[in-house]
Every structure is written in structure tokens, then in C-alpha cells.
């Protein structure tokens, strides 16, 4: 009977693959990425090298003009790079016995990094973890990767949360208008209530229709060149107005899609800038001369991720050197086997050296969302 050897399990596991930076690029203290690289093998295996890399990369590109005068603008940047070597390459292969192995890593990401931006036509900002376990010449290398999402939210005490938005003016000495919002900061899935006040100084000029358009503007930058695209996300309208009065007060509502596929978060950086506006178009009709005229105005708003409490806005203390309790599922009652993250520069350097085979053949913490590891070799032969 032929016994098939299970393929090695090779995974990147994270405490959280979506990280929040609180405050602008000049305000944020950054965030911390924590995780493990996990390897499970059921037979002695030779490895030349095992390494992990984290990379942030931006890409922008578009075409200007047409025909002979066509010009392609393109720029790619490496925004951040961090590499770990858990089994460094040497003249001889590293022989690992059958067991479950794990290597922990921790990375403090600066708050100046641009947040993740995907779904744009002409560019993106992405962050990715990639790991490679290089084997001998006639064996396939092991590869795994995992996406990391960086989002940015306002600080809880930011003035934007407490400030409303108002636009008031007079149009052609005929119409006094006012558009106002209680807040200019919203999240995906929110409804935006808009108060509209109109007063006509001419008794024959009446409101026929109000249209509100929620628009998204994306500006791409490649070198010294810029390109701005816009798209309509949502439209709301109202045309039920009394023709017997010269002043109107109307409450209008427009909803923000609850999916980042249809609406991106606001982003302020020098690569891809995302902004949002409410644009108003109000049609008036002169009852005497049967003429129509249109007033247009705009209000800027912000679309941000849900804000976090102030207790979560600081980097963890350096003595908090273990993953959160929910990350671990201890299968043994012996707490001496619990894995800890490094808490000194010396420990960081030690992580990049060849680990003791006995030290890394310990219990593998398994997040709830990941599949269970196979039993260790010793457990198998003992009938466990």
C-alpha cells in the first residue's frame, strides 16, 4: 500500500489583519502588526531558508491625450519594507524534524504611511506579507501571503466631529438659500440629513425641483503630473413643492453605500487623494414668463471608518509583549509553554538567528478563524 505524505502546512497568522491609524499623517502614532509564521511537517525536511517580508507599495498610472500625442503617466513606489529571516541561508541545509514550528513577529508601522486604497481605476496602495520556505533543488518551495489593510480614522477629539457644515448666500438678488448639516463626518452606511432653506424675493419665482448629488473625487499624482476623476455615488431629488408660498424649508436625506466597493474612505496623501461632496441643483420657474433657471452649490463632507475609543489610540506598552487572549487557544495547562513576543532590541536580533529546534517545537497557538494544525510527530507515535 502506498502511503501519501501530507503536504506541509505553511501559513501567516495575524492578531488582526485590519489596523487603524488614528489621526492624520502628522498626528498618528502609528499601529502595531503582530503575528506568526507557522510551519507544520510530518517527516524530516530540509530547508535552505525560511523568510518573511512585509511590503507597502503604491501604483499609479493613466493615459493622457490620444494618437501621436498620447502620453502615459506611471509611477510605482515602495512605501515600506521589512524583512525577517527565521532560518537564514547557509552552506548546509537546515534539517527540521517532524513537528509544528512557529516564528513570531511584531512590527511598529509609522503613522505617516498612507492608508490602503483599492478599487480605484488608475491606482492603488496595498500592504502585503509574503513568506517563502526554500527547499532543496528537487523539491517545491513553500509560498504563502496575506493582505494587511491600513485604515485611518479621525482622533475622537477632532474638531471635525463637533463641527457642522453650512453654506448660505444670495443668488442673483432673487433667492436667499441655506444648506446645512449637523456634522460633516460620516461612515459607510450612514444617512446624511440635509436642511434646505430657500426664500424668493420675487413672488412669481417658485421652486420646481431640488436635486442632491453625492459625488466622489479621486486625484492621482505621478511625479509632477495630476489627474482627477469624479463619479456619482448617489442621487436624491424632491419636486413636491407648494406654488403658493415664497419660502421653503425642506429636510432631505441621502444615504452612503455600506460597501467600500461603491464608496471609498476620504484619504489625504500625495499619491491618491479621495474627497467627497454634496452638490445641489435647484430649478426655479417663473410662472409669468414660463422661464426656468438653476442654482447650483456644493458642500464638502468626509467619509471615514468608524471611530475607536480613545483608550485604543496609543501604541501598546513595550512590556505588553504577548498577543491578546483571544489569539491564543492553549491546548495544554502548562503556562510555561505560552509563547511571548520579544520586548527588547536584543530579543529582536535573536529572532533573526537560527532558532533552537526544541524551542520552536512547542504548542502552536491557533486563531479561531484558522484551521487546526496536524498533530505533532511525537504525539502521533504515542497514540495521541
The angle subtended at Cα 127 by Cα 121 and Cα 131, nearest 5°, is 130
Statement to judge: residues 241 and 122 lie in one domain: no
Is 321 or 145 the better-scoring residue by pLDDT? 145
Report, as an integer, the average pLDDT of 211-217. 97
Contact 161, 153 (CB under 8 A): no
Reference 302, options 272, 270, 266, 278; nearest CA is 266
**Which pLDDT does position 155 carry in this prediction?**
85
**Which pLDDT does position 195 carry in this prediction?**
94
Report, as an integer, the average pLDDT of 110-129. 96
Statement to judge: residues 70 and 202 lie in one domain: no
Statement to judge: residues 342 and 364 lie in one domain: yes
- 141 lies in some domain: yes
- CA–CA dist 116, 311 (Å, integer): 24
- CA–CA dist 48, 32 (Å, integer): 30
- 3 lies in some domain: no
Is residue 188 very low, low, confident or very high in pLDDT (cuts 50, 70, 90)?
very high
**Phi-psi domain of 137 (left: phi exceeds 0; alpha: psi -120 through 50; beta: other):** alpha
Please determine, for residue 341, whether its predicted confidence score (pLDDT) is greater than 90: no
Please determine, for residue 215, whether its predicted confidence score (pLDDT) is greater than 70: yes
Picking from 20-24, 138-142, 158-162, 351-355, which range would have the lowest pLDDT averaged per residue? 351-355
- CA–CA dist 222, 123 (Å, integer): 10
> What are the beta bridge partners of residue 131?
52, 144
**Which pLDDT does position 306 carry in this prediction?**
67
Is 200 or 31 the better-scoring residue by pLDDT? 31
- 313 lies in some domain: no
Statement to judge: residues 205 and 105 lie in one domain: no
Q: Out of 250, 271, 303, pick the residue that ends a domain.
A: 303
pLDDT digits (tens, 9 = 90+) for 268-289: 999 999 999 999 999 988 877 7
Determine the 3-state secondary structure of 341 from DSSP: coil
At which residue does the C-alpha cell 435647484 appear? 282
pLDDT digits (tens, 9 = 90+) for 23-37: 999 999 999 999 999
- CA–CA dist 17, 376 (Å, integer): 27
**Which pLDDT does position 160 carry in this prediction?**
73
Statement to judge: residues 102 and 19 lie in one domain: yes
Contact 33, 19 (CB under 8 A): yes
pLDDT digits (tens, 9 = 90+) for 222-234: 999 999 999 999 9
18 — phi, psi (to 5°)? -125, 115
Statement to judge: residues 297 and 329 lie in one domain: no
User: What is the span of the domain harbouring residue 247?
Assistant: 159-303
**Which pLDDT does position 351 carry in this prediction?**
38
**Which pLDDT does position 324 carry in this prediction?**
38
Statement to judge: residues 25 and 52 lie in one domain: yes
Statement to judge: residues 149 and 170 lie in one domain: no
**Which pLDDT does position 177 carry in this prediction?**
92
**Which pLDDT does position 333 carry in this prediction?**
34
- CA–CA dist 94, 116 (Å, integer): 37
- CA–CA dist 136, 121 (Å, integer): 42
For the chain, the farthest-separated pair of C-alpha atoms sits apart, in whole angstroms, at: 98
- CA–CA dist 384, 376 (Å, integer): 9
Contact 86, 351 (CB under 8 A): yes
Contact 113, 73 (CB under 8 A): no
163: domain CATH number is: 2.60.40.640
pLDDT digits (tens, 9 = 90+) for 233-252: 999 998 877 766 778 888 99
Statement to judge: residues 142 and 164 lie in one domain: no
Amino acid at each position: 500500500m502506498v502511503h501519501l505524505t501530507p503536504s506541509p502546512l505553511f501559513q501567516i497568522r495575524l492578531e488582526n489583519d485590519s489596523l487603524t491609524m488614528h489621526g492624520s499623517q502628522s498626528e498618528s502614532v502609528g499601529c502595531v502588526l503582530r503575528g506568526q509564521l507557522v510551519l507544520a511537517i510530518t517527516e524530516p525536511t530540509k530547508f535552505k531558508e525560511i523568510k518573511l517580508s512585509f511590503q507597502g507599495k503604491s501604483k499609479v498610472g493613466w493615459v493622457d491625450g490620444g494618437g501621436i500625442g498620447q502620453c502615459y503617466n506611471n509611477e510605482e513606489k515602495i512605501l515600506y519594507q521589512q524583512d525577517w529571516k527565521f532560518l537564514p541561508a547557509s552552506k548546509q541545509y537546515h534539517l527540521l524534524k517532524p513537528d509544528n514550528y512557529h516564528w513570531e513577529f511584531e512590527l511598529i508601522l509609522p503613522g505617516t504611511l498612507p492608508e490602503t486604497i483599492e478599487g480605484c481605476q488608475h491606482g492603488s496602495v496595498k500592504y502585503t506579507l509574503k513568506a517563502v520556505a526554500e527547499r532543496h533543488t528537487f523539491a517545491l518551495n513553500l509560498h504563502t501571503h496575506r493582505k494587511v489593510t491600513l485604515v485611518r480614522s479621525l482622533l475622537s477629539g477632532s474638531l471635525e466631529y463637533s463641527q457642522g457644515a453650512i453654506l448660505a448666500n444670495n443668488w442673483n438678488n432673487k433667492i436667499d438659500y441655506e444648506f446645512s448639516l449637523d456634522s460633516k463626518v460620516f461612515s459607510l452606511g450612514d444617512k446624511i440629513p440635509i436642511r434646505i432653506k430657500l426664500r424668493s424675493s420675487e413672488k412669481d419665482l417658485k421652486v420646481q425641483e431640488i436635486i442632491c448629488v453625492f459625488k466622489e473625487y479621486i486625484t492621482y499624482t505621478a511625479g509632477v503630473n495630476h489627474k482627477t476623476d469624479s463619479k456619482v455615488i448617489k442621487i436624491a431629488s424632491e419636486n413636491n413643492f407648494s406654488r403658493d408660498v415664497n419660502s421653503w424649508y425642506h429636510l432631505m436625506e441621502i444615504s452612503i453605500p455600506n460597501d467600500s466597493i461603491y464608496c471609498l474612505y476620504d484619504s489625504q496623501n500625495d499619491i491618491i487623494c479621495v474627497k467627497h461632496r454634496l452638490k445641489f441643483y435647484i430649478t426655479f420657474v417663473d410662472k409669468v414668463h414660463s422661464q426656468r433657471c438653476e442654482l447650483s452649490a456644493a458642500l464638502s463632507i468626509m467619509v471615514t471608518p468608524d471611530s475607536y475609543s480613545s483608550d485604543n489610540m496609543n501604541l501598546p506598552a513595550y512590556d505588553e509583549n504577548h498577543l491578546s487572549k483571544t489569539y491564543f487557544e492553549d491546548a495544554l495547562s502548562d503556562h510555561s509553554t505560552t509563547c511571548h513576543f520579544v520586548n527588547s532590541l536584543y530579543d529582536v536580533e535573536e529572532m533573526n538567528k537560527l532558532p533552537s529546534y526544541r524551542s520552536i517545537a512547542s504548542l502552536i497557538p491557533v486563531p479561531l478563524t484558522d484551521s487546526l494544525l496536524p498533530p505533532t510527530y511525537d504525539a502521533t507515535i504515542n497514540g495521541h
